[in-house]
Amino acid sequence: MEQKLKELAQEALSKVASAQDLKELNDIRVSYLGKKGPITEVLRGMGKLSAEERPKIGALANQVRAEIAEQIEKKQKQLEEAAIEKQLKEEAIDVTLPGRPVKNGNAHPLTKIIEEIEDLFISMGYQVAEGQEVETDYYNFEALNLPKDHPARDMQDSFYITEEILLRTHTSPIQARTMEKHKGKGPVKIICPGKVYRRDNDDATHSHQFTQIEGLVVDENIRMSDLKGTLEVFAKRFFGEDREIRLRPSFFPFTEPSVEMDISCKICHGKGCSVCKGTGWIEILGAGMVHPNVLEMAGFDSKKYTGFAFGMGPERIAMLKYGIDDIRHFYTNDIRFLKQFSIHES
Ligand code: PHE
């Protein structure tokens, strides 16, 4: 029995010594020291031994067991350290390598213009409202006083999806939708940015998809002078305090009276040059007093409430502000063009 224990000890210790990983080591622990292991078995069989042999073998068995346990513990530490060492080596980084330069992105020039215009109007108490690019014929035209057979619909050749659904041709449907939500109660004071679509052939000044910003104010006692004052504040804050505005009569079915606003040319200050085509003025936006029909269709009492609305194209405004000569630059994503509007450079 003594011999057997010694052999077992040797066998176990050599297995421990050659164990490759923690799992293998644990298997060894279980098989030699576990309840069903050979040492436990020896201890169990001690009853059959003579009184003389018993303490000797008992002591030896305990010694063998302690020795194996100790070696397993040692080996476990070694294996754990080796694992950490290996991981450190694998994950080592060379801190002397030069870094990869991170390219700074910047907001698209149109996004910047739209946000600047939004901020300006937010500072005057407006709220931002958004609509949907796929719009119904009702909100895009009918609710804006453009019935189905209205000739003004020819002005806006549209992308129809079905007879009743189209890609919106302007941001004005947001006016109608927002007024409806107010259920006939003012004030309404919103600024509405968004993409719009028209069946134009793309060239330097036309794009089949572009952006607009719409403004709408509805309340009691809103007058044309409020519109004029608001547009003047916008023009001066946005283009410079030295700029003048003028309103020319125009026509939109959803406003009456309707106007177009020009600002004085910043190059020649009204004398006439090539930028303003000799007129001294540059057209900026369309506007007017909300047509009573539009108010009524959206549930407002047009005897009590009046309002004004205006709509402008951020592309045109960006082109004037930054001296850009082709609308297509906004959409072709040439990084050399876009980079010029980085906040770090402007
Ligand atoms: N929706 C008009 C357009 O697209 C612009 C506009 C908006 C005019 C609001 C008057 C009032 O041309």
Q: Using the mean position of ligand 1's atoms as its centre, give its distance from the Cα of residue 23 in Å.
A: 76
pTM of the model: 0.71
Q: What angle do CA 275, 345, 281 make, to 5 degrees?
A: 15
Does residue 286's CB lie within 6 angstroms of at least one atom of ligand 1? yes
Which residues, at least 6 apart from 102, have a Cβ–Cβ distance to it below 8 Å?
Answer: none
**pLDDT above 80 (res 43):** no
What is the edge-to-edge ordering of all strands in the sheet holding 127-128? 127-128, 188-197, 209-219, 306-312, 281-290, 255-264, 245-252
Decide: 330 and 109 in contact? Cβ < 8 Å. Answer: yes
Residue 344 in this model has a pLDDT that exceeds 80 = no
Residues 215-251 pLDDT 10s? 999 999 999 999 999 999 999 998 999 999 999 999 9
Label residues 225-238 b or e (16+ Cβ within 10 Å = b). ebbbebbbebbeeb
Q: Whose CA is nearest to atom 6 of ligand 1?
A: 311
Report pLDDT for 311: 97
Residue 165 pairs with which residues in a beta bridge?
A: 136
CA distance 24 to 5: 22
170 lines ligand 1 (CB under 6 A): yes
| Å from CA of 8 to ligand 1 middle | 96
| Contact yes or no for 187/326 (Cβ under 8 A) | no
Q: CA torsion angle for 73, 75, 81, 87 (degrees, to 10)?
A: -120
Angle between helices 2-18 and 53-90 (to 10 degrees): 0
309 lines ligand 1 (CB under 6 A): yes
The residue whose CA has the least distance to atom 10 of ligand 1 is 287
pLDDT for 45 equals: 80
Q: Check whether 41 is labelled as a binding-site residue.
A: no
- 255 Cβ closer than 6 Å to some ligand 1 atom: yes
Tell me the C-alpha distance between 281 and 135, whole Å.
34
What's the average model confidence in pLDDT over 23-48?
A: 84
Is there an atom of ligand 1 within 6 Å of 316 CB? Answer: no
The pLDDT, as a whole number, for residue 4 is 82
Q: Indicate left, alpha or beta for 278 from its phi (over 0: left) and psi (-120 to 50: alpha).
A: left
28 contacts 16 by C-beta, under 8 angstroms: yes
Quick one: tokens of 270?
A: 């009204």
Q: How confident is the model at residue 345 (pLDDT cuts 50, 70, 90)?
A: very low
Span 100-129, pLDDT tens digits: 888 888 899 999 999 999 999 999 999 999
Query: Atom 7 in ligand 1: which residue has the minimum CA distance?
Result: 311
* pLDDT number for residue 156: 59
Q: How is 278-331 classified by DSSP, letter by letter?
A: TSSEEEEEEEEEEPHHHHHHTT--TTT-EEEEEEE-HHHHHHHHHT---GGGGT
Interval 257-315: pLDDT, tens = 999 999 998 878 888 888 788 899 989 999 999 999 999 999 999 999 999 999 999 99
- Comparing 77-91, 213-227, 332-346, the range with the smallest average pLDDT is 332-346
pLDDT digits (tens, 9 = 90+) for 156-204: 588 999 989 999 999 999 999 999 999 999 899 999 999 999 988 898 8
Ligand 1: does its nearest atom lie under 6 Å from the Cβ of 239? no
> 175 in ligand 1 pocket by Cβ < 6 Å?
no
pLDDT band for position 343 (cuts 50, 70, 90)? low
3-state secondary structure of 338: helix
Instruction: Spell 136-153 as b/e; 16+ CB within 10 A means b.
Output: bbebbbbbbbbeeeeeeb
- How many CB atoms sit inside 10 A of residue 338's CB? 17
**Closest protein CA for atom 4 of ligand 1:** 170
Q: Give percent of the chain above pLDDT 70.
A: 98
Please report the pLDDT score of residue 189 as a whole number: 98
